[in-house]
Amino acid sequence: MSKAFTRESDDLPDWPALPRQPSPLPPGAKNYLTPDGAQRLREELDRLIQVERPRVAASPHEGDIKRQLQVLDQRIGHLQQSLHSAVVVPPPVAPEDRVRFGATVTVREGSGGESRYRIVGVDETDIDRGWVSWLSPIAKALLNARVGQRVRFKLPSGDEELEIVGLAYE
């Protein structure tokens, strides 16, 4: 075939397909989300479908559009699957005295310092904000405990005792 009838982009190497990201959930675990977490994921999905994907597809630079679309499509697929399997857990109606999913827990460490953790779904985890997955070791140590109670938490440097000093639900 004459080169006159081929596009330059046909000469570019094909990018290998991106590997499918494994689910962060263990087999059989429910995909719990807080209501605001589910809303954030829906908003991200809408933005990716309505704004980002069309913008990338219409880009005049053909160089790595295919790869960018693969990355976007992978994230879109992950969000769709996550929202499809989500179990949205609303905050308790009555004041809760135990640490449950969605709680923001303030703890006092053995050193006297305080930390705050919010127990959220695996797709909502944000360490910078103190949002930890309900499957994480810290969340497992805190779940079902009460204000004033001390819980043991294993760190790489050894065991830590945490005292629960505050509990709130958003």
Say which residue, 159 or 40, is predicted with more confidence: 40
Identity of residue 124: E
State the pLDDT at residue 158.
83
Instruction: Kindly state the average pLDDT of the residues 92-101.
Output: 89
Quote the pTM value: 0.80
State the pLDDT at residue 5.
53
21-46 per-position pLDDT tens digit? 666 777 888 999 999 999 999 999 99
State the pLDDT at residue 25.
79
Residue 119 pLDDT grade (very low, low, confident, very high; cuts 50, 70, 90): very high
Instruction: Kindly state the average pLDDT of the residues 101-108.
Output: 96
Residue 80 pLDDT grade (very low, low, confident, very high; cuts 50, 70, 90): very high
How high is the mean pLDDT of the chain?
A: 87
